[in-house]
Structure 1
Amino acid sequence: MIFSLHFPPKLRFSDEELVAFCLANPDLNLERDEKGEIQLMSPAHGLTSANNSEIIGEVIIWNRRTKAGKVFDSSGGFFLPDTSMRAPDVAWVRKERWDALSKKEKHSFPYLAPDFIIELESDTDNLNKLKSKMKKWVANGVRLAWLISMSQKKTYVYRANGEVKKVSFDQKLEGEDILPGFEVILADIFEI
C-alpha cells in the first residue's frame, strides 16, 4: 500500500533535504513523485517479497556471470530528470555508467535512470497506477522495464520506443539487447 504525504510548495524537500530525511529515517521506504509529493510504501507481504527475491536473484546471477553492471534492490533510489526520486523493486545500470559516477554520487541517490527496472505488483497495488509509473520510468530514460502483474499472471514489457508487450508467466522473458543473454520464465521461479 502507498500513502502520499502532501506538502505545501514552500515545504517541499530539495534533493539534499530528501537525502538527509532518508538518512535520518532509514526504516522508511519512500519515493518522491515529479510533483514533489512523498509516497510512503508499506512493507511487502511474504509472498510478494519471496517472489521479488526470486526475480532479483535471477538478475544477480546473470550479472555475476556477465559482469555487465550493477544490480539494485528496492531500497536503492534514483533521482530522475523529471525531479522525482524513485526506487524500483529491481534496477540494473550498465557498468560504464556506474563507473562514471563519483564516489559521492555512489553514496547518494544517483542522478541517472537505470537501464533496466522491474516493478512487481503487490496485493495492495493499483495496476493502472503502476502502468502509469512504468511510462514515467521510460519517459525518464529507462531503456527496458518490466511490470510483473501477479493478479493477471502477465508481465508488461515497456521499451524505450514506447512499445508495450504482454508476456504470460509461462512464456520466456528476455533481456533483449539491454541485458543480452538474460532469460527467465516466471512460472518456473514464482509461487503464485
Structure 2
Amino acid sequence: MTVVINDWRGEGPEPLELAYEMDDNAFYEFCRRNPHLRFERNPDRTIIIMPNTGGKTGIRNTKILSKLYSWSEGFGGVVFDSSTAFKLPNFATRSPDAAWISDVRWNALSEEEQERFPPIAPDFVIELMSVSDNLKKAQEKMLEYIENGVQLAWLIQPATQTVFIYRADGTISKITDFSEKLSGENVAPGFEFSLQLLLK
C-alpha cells in the first residue's frame, strides 16, 4: 500500500509529501527509526506527523496522567501516555494523550501485541487540546474512538474551559464550567478529575 506523510494544517505552503510502501510491520519499524518524531496513521494509511506539546500542555497532561494512574493503582487496569500508539479496528493508529485499558482486555493480548502497537481500542481515552489544535478535527477523532470500541472519551479544551464527553451509547455531553469534576462513570468507576487543576 502507498502512504503519504502529510503534516499540513491548512496554513502556509502545501506540505512536502513523501510516498512509502508500508505494511503494519514497516510502519512500526519506521516509527522506531524516528523516535524524535510522533506519528499517527489514518484509516487510508496517511501518516500524520504529530507536533510536540508546549510547556503548559505538558504540565496539564502530567496532572491528568498522574491522577489516572493513582486511581488505577487501586482499581486495576493499565494506563498509557501519549507516546503509546494503538491500532484501531478501522486500521487507524492513534495516540491519545491518556488511555486506560482493563486488565482482562490487556492480558488477552499476546506478548508481541503488547510490545508493538497494541491492536485494541482503549476502554477510556482523554485528549487534551492545545491552543493551536483544530476543534473540528479533534471532535472527529473522538467519534472515531467511539466507533472503534472506546467506551468513554473526554475532549478537554482548556482555552475555552470546555469539555466534550463521548460515550459508547452515542450520547455526547458538553461541560463549560471548570469548577466541576469529571467522572469516569461506569467505565472507570470511582475515577474523578477536578478541572480546576488545569487552570493552575
TM over 0.5: yes
Structure 1 residues 65-144: aligned runs within 5 Å: 65-66=74-75, 68-144=76-152
CA contact (8 A) 1:7 1:37 kept: no
Deviations 1:74-114 (A, max 9, x none): 00000011111000000100011111111111110011000
Once the two structures are TM-superposed, the CA of residue 151 in structure 1 deviates from its matched residue by 2.2
Say which of 171, 182, 185 aligns to 1:176.
Answer: 185
1:156 corresponds to: 164
- 1:20 is the counterpart of 2:24: no
Q: Which residue identity lines up with residue 134 of structure 2 in the other structure?
A: N
- 1:56 is the counterpart of 2:65: yes
Q: What CA distance in whole angstroms lies between the structure 1 residues aligned with 2:69 and 2:58?
A: 16
User: How has the CA–CA distance of structure 1 residues 42 and 102 changed in structure 2, closer, same or farther, with 3 Å as cutoff?
Assistant: same
Q: Which residue identity lines up with residue 3 of structure 1 in the other structure?
A: D
Q: What CA distance in whole angstroms lies between the structure 1 residues aligned with 2:46 and 2:169?
A: 28
Q: What CA distance in whole angstroms lies between the structure 2 residues aligned with 1:43 and 1:57?
A: 20
Q: What CA distance in whole angstroms lies between the structure 2 residues aligned with 1:119 and 1:149?
A: 9
| Matched residue SS, 2:160 | coil
Once the two structures are TM-superposed, the CA of residue 137 in structure 1 deviates from its matched residue by 0.7
Say which of 27, 30, 51 aligns to 1:42.
Answer: 51
| Matched residue SS, 1:151 | helix
Give structure 1 regions of 4+ aligned residues with deviation exceeding 2 angstroms. 4-8
Q: Percent identity among equivalent residues?
A: 40
Deviations 1:29-83 (A, max 9, x none): 11001121111111101001100110111100100121x2000000000001111
Q: What CA distance in whole angstroms lies between the structure 1 residues aligned with 2:21 and 2:86?
A: 18
CA contact (8 A) 1:47 1:191 kept: no
How many residues align? The count is 187
Q: What CA distance in whole angstroms lies between the structure 2 residues aligned with 1:116 and 1:158?
A: 10
TM-score (norm 2): 0.89
Any stretches of 5+ residues in structure 1 without a counterpart? none
Any stretches of 5+ residues in structure 2 without a counterpart? 1-5, 9-15
Moved more, 103-112 or 164-173: 164-173
Higher RCO (C-alpha 8 Å, min separation 6): 1
TM-score (norm 1): 0.92
Root-mean-square deviation (CA), in Å?
A: 1.5
| Matched residue SS, 1:30 | strand
Once the two structures are TM-superposed, the CA of residue 142 in structure 1 deviates from its matched residue by 0.4
